[in-house]
Structure 1
Amino acid sequence: MPQLHRSPTSTPTRSEDRRRNLLITASELFLQQGYDGLSMDAIVAAAGGSKATIYRYFGSKQALLVAVVEYLCEDFIIDLKQLDTSGVELARGLEMILEQLVAVVTSPRHVSFYRLVVNGSAHVPQVGQTWYEHGPKFWHQLIATLLQEQRQRGAIATDASTSEVPAILFDALFSHLTTRTVMLGQTCTAKAFQPMIQELIALVMRRLQVA
């Protein structure tokens, strides 16, 4: 079961530990049963304690789902946050980021998560915004930072616009991945998406007139 990551210097209080454990338990149950199929009673039965405790920490089932989505987004990008592209060429940096995206989205856990987000958004609009802020927006920013660093190194033409590149790259690959894994229910390997990754990178390299 995934664990929430915190700074090694922090010391969680008993209340923080209790909230954390409730969040982890609720996350697993939401992934397994979805929003509609899961009751607060079921969460209490699995996590222990009382329904009043859950309401004290999260306020409502809707607010709990939002917290779960934020937690799971952060859990999916733990490895991505450790990715260091500062010393590599542009093509390799893009490849590293997109390969990580493939690894995340093709995992069975993410398939369940994406279905939860889509269904949950229909009941709780804030779910979609939370997913975007802690998911796609983070990937966009990571690509944007790489492009900015590469421009400073002279690897990108000074007059080349990069503002739309992060969204184009992420959205193209993410859409294809979710179509294959979520909509079609296919089990995919990372290797299967290498040709698409390379084609997307080649298009970007030509677009940016890389020196």
Structure 2
Amino acid sequence: MQDLAQLEPIARDLPQTKRGHERCVALLESATELFLKFGYESVSLDDIVNHAGGSKASIYKYFGSKEGLFKAICDYRRDQFFKDICQPFDPKLTDLRNYLISTLLNFQKNLNQPEKAAFMRLVLEQSQRNPELARHIHEQGPKQIQLAIAKALENAHSKGILYCENPLFSAQFYFGILRNLEWKILMGLPAEESDQENIKYISYCVDHFLDGHQKP
């Protein structure tokens, strides 16, 4: 379970007790379950309270509104999603090729989980209705992991491992390797490739990515 400090950027009024913390997390998880099952518009705050227990006052206290609750869910799940996907690059522990391959494999593994794929569809649906939410999710999610890879590429460039004059552009290009998989998942198409085929594809793409970043 997350400690209290980790909820600070998520809950508007940070709970100060273990019980308050548990209530906050219960609301996030119950609301997520209901949104995924019935859709955002069909779920009321009363539905969430009846499912999670407690009162609507807790939702208003911690999140401000139903929209604030959904935004907090996105932040909560983003932290869970990205926590183990992209670790800081340390050339003393792993070479860049293995780091780039393992990052994409971790990403792909998470995308293939049905519940996470369903939540991505829900987020995209709500983003169409709320440009501010879309901007927030992009800034705190995809952009952050792009910056993490850009930092790794900048580090590798400084050590002469590769040549990368624009790390952020290269990071965006790198994540394009998974674009076809993302589209298939969002459209609900079944995965046709085996784990070995995915490893072969990702390794092939990373090798060509690295070939394109050799000194001119």
Choose the corresponding residue for 1:146, options 139, 152, 176.
152
CA shift for structure 1 position 192: 3.5
Choose the corresponding residue for 2:104, options 78, 98, 106.
98
Indicate the SS of the match to 2:54. coil
Choose the corresponding residue for 2:169, options 141, 144, 164.
164
Q: Are residue 17 (structure 1) and residue 18 (structure 2) matched?
A: no
Q: Percent identity?
A: 28
The residue that corresponds to 2:187 in the other structure is 183
CA shift for structure 1 position 7: 6.5
Q: Give the 5 Å matches for 1:1-211.
A: 3-4=1-2, 12-13=16-17, 14-80=19-85, 83=87, 85-86=89-90, 87-157=93-163, 160-173=165-178, 175-187=179-191, 189-209=194-214
CA shift for structure 1 position 183: 0.7
Tell me the TM-score normalized by structure 1.
0.84
Q: Which amino acid aligns with 2:67?
A: Q
Indicate the SS of the match to 1:163. helix
2:151, 2:167 within 8 Å by CA — same for their partners in 1?
no
2:4, 2:21 within 8 Å by CA — same for their partners in 1?
no
Q: Which runs of 5+ in 1 are unaligned?
A: none
Indicate the SS of the match to 1:171. helix
1:70, 1:130 within 8 Å by CA — same for their partners in 2?
no
CA shift for structure 1 position 74: 0.8
2:146, 2:172 within 8 Å by CA — same for their partners in 1?
yes
Q: What is the CA–CA distance in structure 2 between the aligned matches of 1:179 and 1:38, rounded to whole Å?
A: 27
Indicate the SS of the match to 2:168. coil
For these two proteins, the number of residue pairs brought into alignment is 205
Structure 1 runs (4+) greater than 4 angstroms displaced: 5-8
199-208 or 109-118, which deviates more: 199-208
Tell me the TM-score normalized by structure 2.
0.82
Q: What is the CA–CA distance in structure 2 between the aligned matches of 1:5 and 1:120, rounded to whole Å?
A: 29
71-80 or 159-168, which deviates more: 159-168
Q: What is the CA–CA distance in structure 1 between the aligned matches of 2:51 and 2:103, rounded to whole Å?
A: 36
Q: What is the CA–CA distance in structure 2 between the aligned matches of 1:42 and 1:178, rounded to whole Å?
A: 31
1:32, 1:112 within 8 Å by CA — same for their partners in 2?
no
Q: Tell which has more relative contact order, 1 or 2 (C-alpha 8 A, sep 6+).
A: 1
